[in-house]
Chains A and B, each alone.
Chain A
Amino acid sequence: MSTAVAQKRGLGAVIWDYLTTVDHKKIAHLYLVAGGLFFLIGGLEAMIIRIQLMKPDNNFISAGLYNEMITMHGTTMIFLAAMPLIFALMNAVVPLQIGARDVAFPFLNSLGFWLFLFGGLMLNVSWFTGGAPDAGWTNYAPLSTISPGHGVDYYVMGLQISGAGTLIGGINFLVTIVNMRAPGMTYMRMPLFTWSTFVTSTLILFAFPALTVGLFLMMFDRMFGSAFFDVGLGGNAIIWEHLFWIFGHPEVYILILPLFGAFSDIFSTFSKKRLFGYSAMVFATVLIGFLGFMVWAHHMFTVGMGPIANSIFAVATMAIAVPTGIKIFNWLFTMWGGQIKMTSAMLWSVAFIPSFTIGGMTGVMLAAAAADYQYHDTYFVVGHFHYVIVGGVVFGLFASLHYWWPKMFGKVLNEKLGKLAFWPFFIGFHLTFFIQHFLGLMGMPRRYWVFQEGQGLATGNIISTAGAFLMALGTIIFLINVIYTSVKEKKVSGDPWGGRTLEWSIPSPPPHYNFVQTPLVRGLDPLWVEKMDGKEGMTPAEPLGDIHMPNASILPFTISLGLFIAGFGFIYQVDDPTWLIAVFAGMAITLGSMLTRSLKDDLGHHIHKEELEEDIKKGVGKS
């Protein structure tokens, strides 16, 4: 069901279709739109922060509002922009790359999206109900437990709901990749993007429960009078930091690893070479995933854990530079001697290598525990993590969107506009964040809403703000490109790049059942193997037959809506017990929907052989 067909139906029908869809390709669209929207909101918050820090003693926004801005910028960008955009890519690509017709649990896939969306909406509702969360995205106790108003309550409930969605999504992709690979696709024949999705999902599975526990403790402290983090009543405020970072450090690998996978696919496609050191790349991905769990306390060197703990965590952290280095060199060797085509996707990917490497090197500097006492909570840290997150994750998202846009929407994003968006963003990025390392070394602390005249910080800050405007310009050009492409550009074939992996063997956008016949995989880069044998498209692994597909359902939406309503009840029952009605009503909707799901048999539907033959006549089987 392509967008062209969808446009012929009424708007109401299209909206209903998206509300109830369990199709991974449409869920990818939903993630893309919602994540993109939150990315713009987070970007707007970043601009406000940079305008406030434009000149000494600026009064653009008040101190309290500034705290809300930095908190919401961080929270939105990590949980509501980067994660869903990564899920958009995973949904759009992974089932196609492994030759599957859908994910393992289509219903859960949809549930994961709606939980994320309602959690994100809940967080942002706080702007209009008397103040957003203001304790930083890390929400350290006791600052967060004594923060007045309901801001932090929104943080707790919003992240709890969207976190559940992420956990569901992660489990779904694990099961999908373990169980639904096409015949012949062994683990060591999976494309790197699928591999990194697999490792990322494992990290989600093991890391998110720590956040869930932390948020529950925080919820009980703030709403039900417990004292887990209250030192005065025998609690321990440091426990929050540990729980948060046991989750938080794997989280940064959850963000970057899928893009590492995407870069690997992009480099090999546009260099017309197979990925250099495939098995080393897989090994490095798994190793980064494993080591990611053993380094959380490097965020807490100044807490006072003692020299032994600090040294062990410092060494463990530096060890991660080794597998990351393996990856950097393998990407360089993949390009070496290849027939490089500098498309926009490739441009973002090539720019990623030096940018991310700078972030990696400052990471090793920060990992040196003794030196960290100097850097801690300064702009040096801000510079570091923006180099890895923007230089790695955001560059990766732009590269992947350029690369997979034709697969998702059937049109190649305009190359000229793509490159035009890249340059201001790239220059602006380095302008904004490189200088921040030096501001940090000069002693500018992070999270302060003003700096003063005569501290020598004015020049650096105005340069940084100028860079931020260039990044905004780049983003706007990208958005113009999206609109321009959807209006002006022509449809392309299913394989516009000369692709190597299975997703390029089917039409763009793919039919709703993806593969008419499940393909037979005969090696790494399966489509390339067939092309080198002079064949057109994949060899089928099964005869043409009926295809079983899941039915659409509104229940994921209502389950999430119920939790959204109940969330407000939990937040406001502190002021007035009548709000408990919202808790009960919301939980009734959620549990009622779950009961309906359990009791009602929903066996899905079949697409019959005759319909498939009709589709093949129209040219669906070939790319």
Chain B
Amino acid sequence: MNYTKQIQDIAAKLFAEGKIDVFVGYRMNGFDENQVPVLITDPQDVSKLVFTDKSVFNLVNYLKTDHTRRKRVGIVVKGCDSRSLNLMLTESQVKRENLYVVGICCEGVVDDAGEKMQNCTDCMVPDAVVSDEMLGTAVSGSGTLTYKKNADIVALAEKPLTERAAYFEEVFENCIRCNACRHSCPLCYCAKCCIDQETATLYNGANTTSAAFHALMTWSLHLAGRCVDCRNCEKACPSHLPLHLLHKQNESVIYENFQEHLAGVIPEDRGAFYKYSLKDPDDFIM
């Protein structure tokens, strides 16, 4: 998967036609094989753009910054990224007319070790669902592939409760409350996060296990039915916490019980918590 040339050409063309003010893409980080996001405002810098299977980050996150808000933006999105973009559009955070979206038919990206990432092997929607222009060959059945329940949560769910409790207590203990997960998430765009609000802080310690527990639980519930499994949060986490576990757990409950589509696949679909069905499970309620 290498669309470097195509993306450079598209960006150059868009700048030449005056259609965009900023192009959000990837560039080499300059010291190893990995890439970092880049916001290009000068057409001469277009040659910095790259796109390979090392283009791991979800660039939609950069649509919530002041560098892109109220500007005309060109952006590259993979399948998962495009779903978060869909949600951003539905939730009125970005305007479609301000965007030029280069969609990728994604073959999966790789981690530092060169292994295909877990969310890519499990991916149900490799093709971008929002785009003005698509690159690559469409993956057959994108969007209708079989749902694979995440292997990690299956394994954890089989363990005894006490072991799970111990496992997660360690996870929450290792959290340093830096909020990088929140900042890296495209869907965490609130003006002031509820966890930082007075009401919440009043009842919370600062950097403690129980505060981390509260923050991460609230965070994952706020993303339930919205998380697109791009794993930006995990890539950002300095403590390398397995944050995907919380999201995948919610996703599987929602997918299995409410017959909902995955988050952001359907335009105008707001996620499972903002609608209901009379057929929702009721047997867990006395």
B is a partner of A:
no
Using CB atoms and an 8 Å cutoff, list the residues of chain B in contact with chain A. Answer: none
Using CB atoms and an 8 Å cutoff, list the residues of chain A in contact with chain B. Answer: none
